[in-house]
C-alpha cells in the first residue's frame, strides 16, 4: 500500500510540474501556448480620436495598435486578426519577473502616437495600475511554486533510487524535505492561481464594463485556469499522501539494515 501511494505521489508531482511549467512559460514565443493566457485584450474595434482623424485619415491599426494582446504570467503577446477572425501573433515581449501588463507602456505606437490618441478610457489604465502589484506578486509566486514542485519530484526520485541504502536519519530528512517543498509549491501555486482567477473573472468583467463604449473587450483565459487549478489539485493530493506516509518513512530503512546484518 505504501509503495502504491508513493508511486501515485510521484506521478501527481510530475504531472503538476509539467502543467505549472507550461502555464509559466506560455507566451514565451509566438508559437508557445498562446491559448493559455491569463486574459486577452481585444482592441480590434478601437478607433483613433476625432482630432487625429481630422489631421490624418488613419485607423487605429495604421497608428500601430494591434488587434489583440494576450497577457501571460511572465510575458504579453500581440497580433492581428485575419479576415476569418483567427489570431495571428506577431510578437511577444521578453520574459520578466516580476511582470505586470501596463497598457500605458505597451500601447506606444509608431510615429509618436500613444494610448491618448485612440479612444482608450483612462479607467482601464487605472484598473491595470491598481492590479500591478498583485500581478507582479502572482508571477513571483508562480515561479516559486514551479521550482518547489520540481524539487519535490526530484527528491521523490532520489528516494526511490536510493531504496534502503540511506541511513534512517538521512531518509527521514529527505522525506521531510520533500513534504516541505510540496507544501510550499501547493501554497505558492494555490495563491497565484487564486490571483489569476480574480484577474480572469472579476478583473475581466471590470475591463469589459469600462471598455464597453470604446470597442475594448477582455476575455478570460479558461484554458490557463483549467491547467493551473489541475496542478494545484494534484499538489493537494500529493501533500495528503505525504502526510499519510510521513510517519512510516522513518522506519523504512530499519528492516533493510537488519536484513543486511543477517
Could you tell me if 242 and 178 are in contact, meaning their C-beta atoms sit under 8 angstroms apart? yes
Q: How many CB atoms sit inside 10 A of residue 125's CB? A: 16
State how far the Cα of 98 lies from the Cα of 104, in Å rounded to an integer. 17
Q: What are phi and psi of 88, to 5 degrees?
A: -125, 100
Q: Whole-prediction pTM value? A: 0.80
217-220 sheet: strands from edge to edge:
87-92, 76-81, 68-71, 39-42, 217-220
Kindly list the distances between the CA atom of residue 7 and the CA atoms of 14, 101, 122, 183, 255, in Å, as whole numbers in the listed order.
Answer: 11, 40, 53, 18, 20
Cα–Cα distance measured from residue 140 to residue 65, given in angstroms and rounded to the nearest whole number? 29
C-alpha cell at 16: 503538476
Contact 44, 112 (CB under 8 A): no
Instruction: Find out whether 39 and 199 touch, Cβ atoms under 8 Å.
Output: yes
pLDDT tens sequence for the chain (262 residues): 445 777 888 888 899 999 999 999 998 888 888 889 999 988 877 655 443 444 444 555 545 678 889 999 999 999 888 877 788 888 899 999 899 998 878 876 555 555 666 667 888 888 898 999 999 999 999 999 999 998 888 887 776 665 555 566 666 777 778 788 889 999 999 999 999 999 999 999 999 998 888 888 999 999 999 999 999 999 999 888 877 876 655 454 444 444 444 4
CB 152 within 8 A of CB 181: yes
C-alpha to C-alpha distance for 55 and 111, rounded to whole angstroms: 14
DSSP helix/strand/coil, 66: coil
Amino acid at each position: 500500500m505504501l509503495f502504491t501511494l508513493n508511486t501515485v505521489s510521484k506521478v501527481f508531482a510530475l504531472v503538476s510540474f509539467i502543467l505549472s511549467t507550461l502555464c509559466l512559460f506560455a507566451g514565451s514565443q509566438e508559437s508557445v501556448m498562446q491559448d493559455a493566457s491569463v486574459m486577452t485584450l481585444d482592441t480590434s474595434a478601437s478607433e483613433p480620436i476625432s482630432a487625429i482623424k481630422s489631421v490624418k485619415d488613419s485607423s487605429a491599426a495604421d497608428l500601430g495598435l494591434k488587434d489583440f494582446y494576450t497577457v501571460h504570467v511572465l510575458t504579453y503577446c500581440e497580433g492581428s486578426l485575419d479576415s476569418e477572425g483567427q489570431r495571428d501573433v506577431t510578437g511577444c515581449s521578453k520574459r520578466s519577473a516580476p511582470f505586470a501588463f501596463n497598457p500605458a507602456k505597451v500601447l506606444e505606437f509608431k510615429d509618436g502616437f500613444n494610448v491618448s490618441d485612440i479612444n482608450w478610457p483612462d479607467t482601464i489604465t487605472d484598473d491595470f495600475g491598481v492590479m500591478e502589484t498583485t500581478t507582479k506578486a502572482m508571477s513571483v509566486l508562480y515561479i516559486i511554486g514551479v521550482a518547489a514542485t520540481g524539487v519535490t519530484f526530484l527528491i521523490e526520485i532520489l528516494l526511490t533510487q536510493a531504496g534502503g541504502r540511506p541511513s534512517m536519519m538521512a531518509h527521514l530528512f529527505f522525506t521531510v524535505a520533500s513534504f516541505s517543498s510540496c507544501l510550499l509549491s501547493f501554497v505558492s501555486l494555490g495563491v497565484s492561481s487564486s490571483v489569476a482567477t480574480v484577474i480572469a473573472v472579476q478583473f475581466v468583467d471590470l475591463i469589459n464594463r469600462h471598455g464597453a463604449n470604446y470597442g475594448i473587450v477582455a476575455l478570460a483565459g479558461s484554458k490557463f485556469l483549467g491547467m493551473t487549478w489541475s496542478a494545484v489539485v494534484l499538489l493537494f493530493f500529493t501533500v495528503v499522501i505525504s502526510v499519510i506516509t510521513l510517519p512510516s518513512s522513518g522506519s523504512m530503512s530499519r528492516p533493510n539494515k537488519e536484513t543486511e546484518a543477517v
